[in-house]
Structure 1
Amino acid sequence: MTKQPIAYLTGEYPKVSHTFIQREIEALRLNGWTVEACTIRRAAPNDIVGTDQHREARDTFCVLEAAKRPATLIGAHIWALRRDARAWAKAAGLAWRTRPAGLKAALWQVFYFLEAGVLARHLHDRGVCHIHNHFANSSASVAMLTSEMSGIPFSMTMHGPAIFFEPMHWRIDEKIARAAFVSCISHFCRSQAMYFSDPIHWDKLKIVHCGVVPDDYGHGPRTDRKKRIIFVGRLDPVKGVPLLLDAMARVVRDHRDATLTVVGDGPSRHAVEEQSRALGLGDCVSFLGYRASDEITGLLEEADMLVLPSFAEGVPVVLMEAMASRIPVIASRVAGVSELIEDGVSGFTIPAGDLDTLCARLDTLLSDGDLCIRMGNEGRQKVEADFDLSSEAAWIGALFEGALIETLPDSLRP
């Protein structure tokens, strides 16, 4: 069947920490899909890095920018009422029924409803036939209400772990019930979605991995080892960087030539830089801030291992990038991480927050270059087999096709 236009929505797009969404959209476009990129709000300027992201930002429809224009906001809801007053009223009722407790939360729900009217008008004008949303929180609320108001079916990708801390606040049970399908990034993610939804909807829960293009990584030989450790991620307490710095302070006693490169930015940057100075780590730790995707690829080429000691995660794409680069990884054994890393084979998984185990695993890799090479090769094979973006984009594209077929009259279905 001819690929009909679809829309991708999320809370902030594009942004450096969500490059996997941009890659997924690009892969779908390469497969012949017309994808209308939409975002609830613009990402902060320092979160948009590189030429590709700036270009994508220019071409992305921002709901809040449009909704802040009174004529656009009022006009969209007048259009929705004239088009189908019953659907508009049902969307208003759905917004009210699924509101979280408290006055402030109810007010936010009003905003989501107003945004839904603006998005519904925009998607109708663009001929969009399906909405797909990444993350199951506020942007998914807007997607669900837009779907109810416009009649355009929606689906969503669930990531976690944060959404599973407040599942009823965000009414993921209702979203799963109303979605055409739900893409879950791991078996763990799907299990949590099953726990918080009615079993009659479990067949909607499909595992679609985030992925990378393996051929973009791992071009250089892995023979020139210099004990270079890299961390890539948002500098936020959940990522466990203070634990990594404590570990570095220990391991450099035996590995004086070991270095750590911290790539990323965020609310904890000042604190972790201060900690590094207090620990006397000096030049063995460098903080680079955010870097564009191609720069990160180059930094992974130069690194000997990647460490991600997070306290909570989904299945981090940066681990896939490192494994595709043929370097071993050390990561906390949380959520779906063990579905990517086989402990002792392609890297090490450690108990979250366990400093002693982190130090021991760092010492093992810093002491054994041959092990690093073997683990790096195993990691590359794992990514090629199970986390190749082209395969995952084809799979989610097939789910879109199935959802679109379901919206056709019986006489037009294949």
Structure 2
Amino acid sequence: MRISYFINQYPKVSHSFIRREILALERQGFEVQRIALRGWDAELVDAEDESERNKTSYVLQGGAKGLIAPLLQVLRAQPRRFFSTLWLALRMGLRADRPWPYHLVYLAEACQVLQWLQAFGAGHVHAHFGTNSTEVVMLANALGGPAYSFTVHGPEEFDKPLLIKLREKVRRAAFVAAVSSYGRSQLFRWVAHGHWAKVKVVHCGLERVFHDVPAVAAPSAPRLVCVGRLCEQKGQLLLLEAARILAAQGVEFELVLAGDGEMRAEIEALIARYELRARVRITGWISSAQVREEILAARALVLPSFAEGLPVVIMEAMALRRPVLTTYVAGIPELVRQGENGWLFPAGAVDELATAMADCLAQPADVLQRMGEAAYQRVLERHDIDTEAAKLASFFRALA
């Protein structure tokens, strides 16, 4: 079966889970076409992402002028269907997070995507994220393209379900994948009961090559690592507040912020203000292999997120036998268990975060090893990429 994947930006440093999913589906016997809006000129640090970029077709690479010819061709070939879809695009722009001209652009993008889907012979198209990427494949379907499905990650979809017309996207979809039971529950909030059966739980997964490595003992150095985009929802500013508390208490620690993002300058300014430069290091964007090395060089992963779906980096740390310190928001408590494989604390609670960090740093090696082994077993049970891709494969084949 030939299927297509459509993503807003691909490949991307923070989208390695999509790459793993595509490659796992190819191991299941599918031919997978990659289509993305952008990403042809993005800075990449992984050789695997470089390979994926060579396999991807980019809708916007030719600029806005490149969309005119596909739009006119679809209009001439099937004018009634085109104008019906135009009306749908205009409705999607009413009381939306973006004004209606954006939705006309999505229609033009859908015309180009439709032609590529038809040329490939796609039997189905799957999108990641329930925002504009899903709207484009929905419009392509309305123009006569194949059935579509999409994966909802959160938290963006749950922050503005009415503005992105999530209900309409689910109603027209063949099925919808949520990455956690929590995510499924949020979709149940916004769609009619008659569509609940469409909503499936398909976890993001890890390749076995990632976790099939010899166990590495936690270091004696009092080091913690936070991996993720430097942005408001990941809570790095709160993490620095907690680090300031630990420093004032005389607790020895090192903190690595692995990643980059729009808040880097603000975070660097706070590090300087709190006199934490000797204790806190920012890596910038790093490859998957470097992320693994940073996790293995730390006693635990700390992720004080304010909003999430279910972070892949938590799975990665647990697969490397590292406990996790994180908030009990969204799907996180489905994976992390307090006292067994990590520490859970309320989002936004700086004192509880500081206490969890101090407790982790004070634990003897045998306790960290026990918690790491429990983390490893837990993540293998729930997040093997071939197991999760097999779920998707069964849904795709049922549609065929």
Question: What TM-score range do you get, normalising by the shorter chain?
Answer: over 0.9
2:375 matched to which residue of 1?
Answer: 379
1:342 matched to which residue of 2?
Answer: 337
Aligned match of 2:185 in 167, 187, 191?
191
Distance 1:330-1:99 versus aligned 2 partners, 3 A rule: same
Render the CA deviation track for 1:152-196: whole Å, top value 9, x for unaligned: 100000111111111111111111011010001111111111111
CA RMSD of aligned residues (A): 1.8
> Which consecutive residues of structure 2, in runs of 5 or more, have no partner in the other structure?
none
Aligned match of 1:65 in 36, 43, 61?
61
The within-5 A match list for 1:346-361 is 346-361=341-356
Aligned match of 1:23 in 7, 14, 20?
20
Residues in 1 aligned to 2:222 and 2:27: alpha-carbon distance in whole angstroms = 38
The within-5 A match list for 1:4-403 is 4-42=1-39, 45-46=42-43, 48-66=44-62, 68-70=64-66, 73-101=67-95, 105-217=99-211, 219-222=214-217, 224-253=219-248, 256-369=251-364, 370-403=366-399
CA contact (8 A) 2:96 2:162 kept: no
Residues in 2 aligned to 1:103 and 1:300: alpha-carbon distance in whole angstroms = 37
Between the two proteins, what is the percent identity of the paired residues?
34
Letter of the 1:152 counterpart:
P
Distance 1:103-1:389 versus aligned 2 partners, 3 A rule: closer
Q: Counterpart of 1:37 in 2: which secondary structure?
A: strand
> Which consecutive residues of structure 1, in runs of 5 or more, have no partner in the other structure?
405-414
Letter of the 2:310 counterpart:
V
CA contact (8 A) 1:236 1:266 kept: yes
Residues in 1 aligned to 2:97 and 2:196: alpha-carbon distance in whole angstroms = 33
Letter of the 1:305 counterpart:
A
Distance 1:8-1:103 versus aligned 2 partners, 3 A rule: closer
Residues in 1 aligned to 2:257 and 2:295: alpha-carbon distance in whole angstroms = 12
Quote how far apart the aligned CAs of 1:74 are: 3.5
Q: Counterpart of 2:94 in 1: which secondary structure?
A: coil
Quote how far apart the aligned CAs of 1:299 are: 1.6
Residues in 2 aligned to 1:23 and 1:287: alpha-carbon distance in whole angstroms = 26
Residues in 1 aligned to 2:91 and 2:283: alpha-carbon distance in whole angstroms = 46
Residues in 2 aligned to 1:129 and 1:69: alpha-carbon distance in whole angstroms = 28
Distance 1:378-1:87 versus aligned 2 partners, 3 A rule: same
Residues in 2 aligned to 1:334 and 1:232: alpha-carbon distance in whole angstroms = 17
1:411 matched to which residue of 2?
Answer: none
> TM-score scaled by structure 1?
0.92
CA contact (8 A) 2:117 2:145 kept: no
Residues in 2 aligned to 1:304 and 1:312: alpha-carbon distance in whole angstroms = 24
1:408 matched to which residue of 2?
Answer: none
User: How many aligned residue pairs are there?
Assistant: 398
Letter of the 1:60 counterpart:
T
CA contact (8 A) 2:85 2:139 kept: yes
Structure 1 window deviating more from structure 2 (252-261 vs 200-209): it is 252-261
Render the CA deviation track for 1:262-292: whole Å, top value 9, x for unaligned: 1100111111111112111122211110101
Structure 1 window deviating more from structure 2 (55-64 vs 118-127): it is 55-64
Letter of the 1:79 counterpart:
Q
CA contact (8 A) 2:218 2:368 kept: no
Residues in 1 aligned to 2:30 and 2:298: alpha-carbon distance in whole angstroms = 36
